[in-house]
């Protein structure tokens, strides 16, 4: 087996929780000793609720923030210290969660897609390449002259995908690429992403809290809980025979429609509650370290 | 949405329509356009263009406003209306030069401070705070005292302080935009810092800059008039609205038109820019500009 496209080793990232008057109240380990690797052509899913550290991992892979410790390797080479180099940008690209916010409202679609072409000194007709990329994302080439506010959410996300593909990256980080879209549009975007894997031999790091989507789209998953990967493996075993309490809880809370899916649903007493705040997370962590709550 | 081939209204047309529905903006725009046109065409539209210079016509001194002399005549018999129109040139020149010098500097410093943060932000913003504490009028008086009282020196003195307002404005907008996903997206795409500052962030500041510039033009004209009133502006015999108010003031209240009517001209232009600025603010929906 060749070197994995992305390998993450013992990644740690902490944030200080500030109390009143800026006094330190403690430290949240947003990402806590996370390791995983993704092989070429694979779709690896990172699942977990809000605050579990999914997006923090994505930001570190993209070089938008630096880990406290651990290493990130792309094609066997560490990106730390060269996280902002053009070579790194050429290997990894990202599709952001909210297509409304990830496209500059004052620039046309064509101008936005040209940004990576100009930055990487694309040799050849850049105008033609923009049209080609739009077609690759299944959009008409004349959309290049439109402004983002003239497009629907799904169309905007296609533009964002086209832009990310401009420099022909090997790895695409998809940070909840469909969560800001209507359900009816979601499946089309996912279909596009599946087509692109087949066409271009891309590798995906797919981040989502949507477990049914994850089950259909990813080949392997990692379940993140409070910054730790509690369970990892191929989709089928993780989803049908979860080993960890948290995975079971997460699966139990997926709303299901068909009786078939209902039968698959593990039974566990529901713990209802809102998204935990940073302080609750601190308390939970203390609890998990002292009590019999198994990790 | 026009996948079906139905063309949406263009941005320019939509903006124009919204603009035309805003009475404040329209009145402001009309005043500004009228003032600029009159100032530019002054030699052709004024009844007595020769009265700009050191002309003396004692037979007609201190004449009240009439059909011939709309604003009356001054103490040496010159037509005040003609001189007021030429005076607009000086006021508008002052606004253009001061803002032309101050805005580029202020905007670039604001972008740098807002985007990079850290010591860049500390240095730029503390200098800005210090400069903000000095009133422009006092600065202009000080410069005139050290150098010579002239229009150039006054303009430089005001410009030297005026950039701070733009730095503050652009700094606060940039700080909000820096964490937006489209800025992060540009970073991950490999765009240079110059690209991010001037192509991604700056276009999102343009409407705020337009509003601020229009409001500023009014204030700069008022300060310029105050400086001329104190004798620190352009030197006679070139007509200047502030200077005309000052020289006419010695003939109050008998020959009131000699100071009041040039004063009204100052008010008219300054109000025009302010109305336009307020209207643009409503149009662009930018709230943090004052």
What is the DSSP track for A249-295?
Answer: HHHHTS---SHHHHHHPPP-------PPPHHHHHHHHHHHHHSS---
Residue at A176 is within a domain: yes
Say if the Cβ atoms of B184 and A106 lie within 8 Å: no
Q: A224 pLDDT exceeds 60?
A: yes
User: Using an 8 Å Cβ cutoff, are B252 and B98 in contact?
Assistant: no
Helix (H) or strand (E) holding B144: helix B136-146
Residue range A25-54: mean pLDDT, rounded: 86
Query: What is the interface pTM, i.e. ipTM, of the complex?
Result: 0.78
User: Using an 8 Å Cβ cutoff, are B208 and B286 in contact?
Assistant: yes
Residue spans of the domains in chain B: they are 38-51+68-263
Residue at A1 is within a domain: no
CA distance A203 to A217: 12
Best B173, B184, B188 member to test A by mutation, with max A CBs in 10 Å, is B188
Q: How confident is the model at residue A24 (pLDDT cuts 50, 70, 90)?
A: low
Range of the domain at A188: 6-290
Q: How confident is the model at residue A77 (pLDDT cuts 50, 70, 90)?
A: confident
3-state SS, residue B119: helix
**Which range scores top for mean pLDDT: A21-25, A242-246, B160-164?**
B160-164
Distance from CA of A89 to the nearest CA of B (A): 6
CATH number assigned to the domain covering B38-51+68-263: 1.10.3720.10
CA distance A186 to A157: 10
Residue at A270 is within a domain: yes
CA distance A287 to B221: 67
pTM: 0.80
What's the pLDDT tens digit per position in B52-111? 777 777 777 777 788 777 787 887 878 888 888 888 888 899 899 999 999 999 999 999
Strand order, beta sheet including A69-74: A24-38, A6-18, A69-74, A77-78
* CATH code (residue A163): 3.40.50.300
CA distance B119 to B164: 18
What's the pLDDT tens digit per position in A177-192? 888 888 888 888 999 9
User: Using an 8 Å Cβ cutoff, are A120 and B200 in contact?
Assistant: no
User: Using an 8 Å Cβ cutoff, are B215 and B289 in contact?
Assistant: yes
Provide φ and ψ at A151, rounded to 5°.
Answer: -110, 160
Query: Which residues 177-216 of chain B have a CB within 8 Å of chain A?
Result: 180-182, 184-192, 195, 199-200, 203-204, 206
Query: Which residues 2-41 of chain B have a CB within 8 Å of chain A?
Result: 2, 8, 11
Q: Residue-wise over B111-124: b if at least 16 C-beta within 10 A, else e?
A: bbbbbeeeeebeeb
Residue range B3-28: mean pLDDT, rounded: 71
- Domain count for chain A, please give it: 1
Judging by beta carbons within 10 Å of its beta carbon (0-12, 13-18, 19+), is residue A69 exposed, middle or buried? Answer: exposed
Distance from CA of B127 to the nearest CA of A (A): 25
Q: Taking all residues of chain B, what is their mean pLDDT, rounded to a whole number?
A: 85
Cα of B41 vs its chain's centroid, Å: 19
Q: Please name which of B95, B98, B163, B155 lies closest in space to residue B124, comparing C-alpha atoms.
A: B163
Distance from CA of A62 to the nearest CA of B (A): 7
């Amino acid at each position: 087996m060749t070197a994995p496209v992305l390998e993450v080793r013992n990644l740690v990232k902490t944030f200080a929780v500030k109390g009143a008057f800026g006094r330190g109240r403690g430290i949240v380990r947003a990402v806590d000793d996370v390791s995983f690797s993704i092989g070429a052509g694979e779709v690896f899913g990172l699942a977990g609720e809000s605050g579990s550290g999914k997006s923090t991992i994505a930001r570190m892979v993209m070089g938008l923030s630096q880990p406290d410790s651990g290493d990130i390797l792309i094609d066997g080479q560490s990106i730390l210290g060269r996280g902002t180099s053009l070579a790194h940008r050429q290997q990894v690209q990202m599709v952001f969660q909210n297509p409304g916010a990830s496209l500059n409202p004052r620039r046309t679609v064509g101008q936005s897609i040209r940004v990576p072409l100009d930055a990487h000194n694309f040799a050849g007709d850049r105008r033609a390449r923009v049209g080609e990329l739009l077609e690759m994302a299944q959009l008409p080439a004349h959309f290049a002259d439109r402004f983002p506010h003239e497009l629907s959410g799904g169309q905007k996300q296609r533009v964002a995908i086209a832009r990310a593909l401009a420099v022909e990256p090997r790895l695409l980080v998809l940070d909840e690429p469909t969560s800001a879209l209507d359900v009816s549009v979601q499946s089309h975007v996912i279909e596009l992403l599946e087509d692109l894997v087949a066409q271009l031999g891309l590798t995906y790091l797919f981040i989502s809290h949507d477990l049914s989507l994850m089950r259909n789209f990813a080949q392997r998953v990692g379940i993140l809980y409070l910054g730790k990967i509690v369970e990892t493996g191929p989709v089928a075993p993780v989803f049908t025979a979860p080993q960890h309490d948290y995975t079971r809880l997460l699966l139990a809370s997926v709303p299901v429609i068909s009786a078939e899916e209902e039968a698959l649903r593990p039974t566990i007493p529901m713990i209802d509650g809102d998204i935990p705040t940073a302080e609750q997370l601190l308390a939970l962590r203390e609890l998990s370290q002292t009590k019999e709550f198994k990790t | 949405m026009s996948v079906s081939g139905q063309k949406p209204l263009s941005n320019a047309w939509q903006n124009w329509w919204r603009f035309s529905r805003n009475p404040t903006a329209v009145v402001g725009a009309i005043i500004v356009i009228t003032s600029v046109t009159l100032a530019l065409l002054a030699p052709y539209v004024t009844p007595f263009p020769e009265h700009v210079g050191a002309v003396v016509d004692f037979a007609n001194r201190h004449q009240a406003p009439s059909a011939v002399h709309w604003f009356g005549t001054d103490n040496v018999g010159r037509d005040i209306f003609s001189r007021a129109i030429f005076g607009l040139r000086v006021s508008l020149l002052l606004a253009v030069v001061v803002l032309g010098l101050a805005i580029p500097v202020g905007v670039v410093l604001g972008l740098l401070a807002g985007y990079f943060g850290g010591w860049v932000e500390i240095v730029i913003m503390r200098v800005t705070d210090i400069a903000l504490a000095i009133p422009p009028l006092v600065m202009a008086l000080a410069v005139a005292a050290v150098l010579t009282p002239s229009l150039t020196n006054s303009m430089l003195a005001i410009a030297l302080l005026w950039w701070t307002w733009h730095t503050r404005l652009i700094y606060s907008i940039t700080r909000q935009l820096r964490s937006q996903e489209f800025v992060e997206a540009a970073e991950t795409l490999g765009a240079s810092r110059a690209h991010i500052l001037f192509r991604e962030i700056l276009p999102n500041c343009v409407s705020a800059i337009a509003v601020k510039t229009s409001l500023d033009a009014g204030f700069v004209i008022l300060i310029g008039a105050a400086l001329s009133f104190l004798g620190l502006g352009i030197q006679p015999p070139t007509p200047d609205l502030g200077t005309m108010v000052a020289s006419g003031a010695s003939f109050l209240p008998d020959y009131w038109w000699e100071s009041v009517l040039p004063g009204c001209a100052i008010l008219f232009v300054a109000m025009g820019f302010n109305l336009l600025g307020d209207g643009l603010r409503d149009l662009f929906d930018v709230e943090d500009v004052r």
